[in-house]
Structure 1
Amino acid sequence: MAKTIISRGQGVLTGAGDASELLQAGFTQKAFRQWLQQYPRHLSADTFASYIKNSVDSVIPVVSNATADIKTSPLDRLSSGNNLIELYRETNNETYKTAFEALRTSIDLQSRNVEGGLWYYTYANWSYLDGMASFAPFYTLYSSLYDEENTAAVPDDLVLQLHLLWTHCYNNVSGLLVHGYDESYTAVWADNVTGASPHVWGRSLGWYAMAMIDTLELLNSKTYAAAHERIKLRFNDLASALVQAVDSTTGAWWQILDQPGREGNYIESSGSAMFAYSLLKGARLGYLPKSVINIAKRGYEYIVDEFVVNNGNGTLGYNGTVAVCSLNSTATYEYYVGRPILYNSVLGSAAFVLASLEYEALEI
């Protein structure tokens, strides 16, 4: 699947793609970096390393101006941050450092609500789960390498962002989190008590789950012990809720998790892959009980059977990935289930690569 992504030229910024193209690049880099770390001596290692560099180089002109960053792209812009850091550490090329420093500065320039929560984009006081998968791992890696003396960044600010989303978006019955919240309570979809949007969109919760487990992996310093513990407890709670939300027939997860089986709802491939990845990785790293492995494996194997397409020419297709869903909408059930299903979206196929790597890691 990773080689097929390369064959299609996906994950390299062209400026001709849709609004998620910058996120697609960062997410592809993430998947390929994990592949390279898992199989550093593979014959294809140089190919993947070169493609990571091509993808990172393509985003540099777009993310190297901190002021422009916050005006033109949501928190997803931070998705390339970790690979910019990695390439700088490998090459000492200052161009990479300039870019990731601009991304770090852009966090400080990002607008916040009165509680200190980051706006996801330019929509006033709206915070999404989605942005955490790009924000939290970058903020953590940067702070641990270049700003560890700033003892407020990770222990306070990063934990605050995850906490505010949890507080506003958490459902006490299901244990799941809805897509986002409006701290001003003025959005057409905002709950008048919590500000929360009405539905649990699978992929947004998938981003949040990935943010937690990927950040836990990076929080390996005693400086961040308290932050690590807080995030670990929340991740365990979320994982338990995800296990309960599994569809009993397929073993995978619905597009709208709080409406299982409702007419129009369906099993969605990107969120399902993200959940399989998060649960398998959580178990591998020792944060989750081994009992979740079989649950995550069943979901992964359904994805392989249902969504992976053998093109018959040495490449693979990937189906069942919903287009971008935004809170700049009605955020109704009908909106989410009415969004187009995309074939070969890299937001799905890269998630599948990550889930596959964790699945394969069980055998290593």
Structure 2
Amino acid sequence: MADSVISRGQAVVEQGSSPSASTYLQVGFFQSAIIRLIDYYHTPGSVCAEHKWEKYLQTSTDSIKPYLLNATKDASYPLDRLSTGKGLLHQFEEYHTSTASEALHSLRESINLQNKNALGGYWYFEYPNWSYLDGMYSLIPFLLTYTAHFDPKNESVTDDVIHQLDLLWTHCYQNESGLLVHGYDASKTASWASPVTGASPIVWDRSLGWYMMALVDSLDFSTPFPQRLSDYLQRRLVQLAESVISAADPKTGCWWQVMTFPNKQGNYIESSGSAMFTAALFKAARLGYLPEKIASEARKAAGKCYNHIVDAFVVKNENGTLDYNGTVSVCSLNSSASYEYYVSQPLLYNSVHGTAAFVHASLEHEMLENAEGSSRK
């Protein structure tokens, strides 16, 4: 799947073009998938595609880097821009590229310039006072890795990370499902905002997938920080994992576009969010982030969804490449945020969101299988 995306030239900014707001996430998210592949296949042995992956990563990073050297301009893009930090850090560590370092520092400075609501929550994008689950996947791991590498004496980052995650949790948590809705408006003036919490009304699978992956990936980077950070991340992850597992469709094992209305007219099993939950559950189980009973349920749930994803959404082309179907294009709170809105957005083919999520899910599936095989031996 990774080779297929590379063969199509995706996740690279074409020379002379101006990247859209969503380009930064498309590039950064797929870069993170490639880095995971490179890291995994470096040991115990290499694979034929490894050189191609590294070359692609450099091309992709070089293509986006010129647009990340101005902190003020960076701050005008969604928090998703920070997902490009993984590729930049890889380039800086492997090749000591000065412009990669400059871009990393600009991205970090842009967080200081990011608008905040009255509660201290970062705006996701340009919409005043609106915070989305989506931005946490890019924001939190970047903040932690940057601080560990370049600013280890910064003691405020732990509190900021917990604060950002907790604001979304407390405002977006849905008591009846144990899941989180898409986002909230701190001013409570949006047409969709709850008059009590400011929360939007719909649990969208991909936005919650971003948030759940943020919890899992952030635990990877939490070791240099005070214990209260990993304690918080793990507590929220365990709580969310139980609710996500309970929300899985009994037939397919995967997750609905609007998670709290299974089988409702217009609703459907959505492939990108399903792949994100699959990857997050596999990884959380593999690394011991879940109690054993929940870990066992997570492995079972993720395995069932993974099999359905492969059967239903992965397309084998005659030229040997793979496509990935069933990924919703985009859902924004700059809308009615109604059920009808979420189920009427178009589906994309060859979506980088979907394919990168599938690469993550596939690699986690393989790693867990190998780990369990070794333990059985």
Q: TM-score, normalised by structure 2?
A: 0.94
Shift of 1:260: 1.1
1:303 aligns with 2:285: no
For 1:294, the equivalent position in structure 2 comes to 300
CA distance in structure 1 between the partners assigned to 2:349 and 2:219 by the alignment: 32
Shift of 1:22: 1.4
Paired residue total = 361
- 173, 176, 184: which is aligned to 2:176? 173
For 2:39, the equivalent position in structure 1 comes to 37
CA deviations over 1:30-69 (Å, ceiling 9, x no partner) = 0000011111222211110111111111111111100011
Shift of 1:82: 2.0
For 1:111, the equivalent position in structure 2 comes to 115
| Preserved CA contact (<8 Å) 2:132 2:183 | yes
For 1:269, the equivalent position in structure 2 comes to 271
Q: Counterparts in 2 of 1:67-86, with a 5 A limit?
A: 67-71=72-76, 73-86=77-90
Q: Counterparts in 2 of 1:298-337, with a 5 A limit?
A: 298-337=304-343
For 1:89, the equivalent position in structure 2 comes to 93
| Preserved CA contact (<8 Å) 1:273 1:300 | yes
Deviates more, 1:262-271 or 1:9-18: 9-18
| Preserved CA contact (<8 Å) 1:112 1:119 | yes
Deviates more, 1:264-273 or 1:144-153: 144-153
CA deviations over 1:296-317 (Å, ceiling 9, x no partner) = 0100110000000011221011
> Secondary structure in 2 aligned to 1:137?
helix
1:191 aligns with 2:197: no
Identity among equivalent positions (%) equals 52
| Preserved CA contact (<8 Å) 1:319 1:343 | yes
| Preserved CA contact (<8 Å) 2:314 2:324 | yes
| Preserved CA contact (<8 Å) 2:31 2:86 | no
User: What CA RMSD, in Å, does the superposition of the two structures yield over aligned residues?
Assistant: 1.0
CA distance in structure 2 between the partners assigned to 1:224 and 1:329 by the alignment: 40
For 1:162, the equivalent position in structure 2 comes to 165
> Secondary structure in 1 aligned to 2:369?
coil
CA distance in structure 1 between the partners assigned to 2:353 and 2:226 by the alignment: 30
Shift of 1:70: 1.4
> Secondary structure in 2 aligned to 1:363?
helix
CA deviations over 1:136-169 (Å, ceiling 9, x no partner) = 110010011111111111x200111000000000
1:99 aligns with 2:100: no
For 2:374, the equivalent position in structure 1 comes to none
1:8 aligns with 2:8: yes
CA distance in structure 2 between the partners assigned to 1:16 and 1:265 by the alignment: 35
Shift of 1:224: 2.8
CA deviations over 1:175-206 (Å, ceiling 9, x no partner) = 10000000000001100000000000110000
| Preserved CA contact (<8 Å) 1:78 1:138 | yes
For 1:224, the equivalent position in structure 2 comes to 226
CA distance in structure 2 between the partners assigned to 1:308 and 1:267 by the alignment: 14
For 1:121, the equivalent position in structure 2 comes to 125
Unaligned runs of 5+ in 2: 371-377
CA distance in structure 1 between the partners assigned to 2:156 and 2:348 by the alignment: 41
Shift of 1:277: 0.2
CA distance in structure 1 between the partners assigned to 2:29 and 2:223 by the alignment: 23
| Preserved CA contact (<8 Å) 1:13 1:22 | no
CA distance in structure 2 between the partners assigned to 1:91 and 1:138 by the alignment: 20
- 131, 140, 146: which is aligned to 1:142? 146
Unaligned runs of 5+ in 1: none
| Preserved CA contact (<8 Å) 2:177 2:243 | yes
Q: Which amino acid aligns with 2:308?
A: Y
CA deviations over 1:307-346 (Å, ceiling 9, x no partner) = 0001122101110000111111111111110000011111
Shift of 1:115: 1.2
- 340, 360, 369: which is aligned to 1:363? 369
CA distance in structure 2 between the partners assigned to 1:16 and 1:64 by the alignment: 15
CA distance in structure 2 between the partners assigned to 1:17 and 1:231 by the alignment: 33
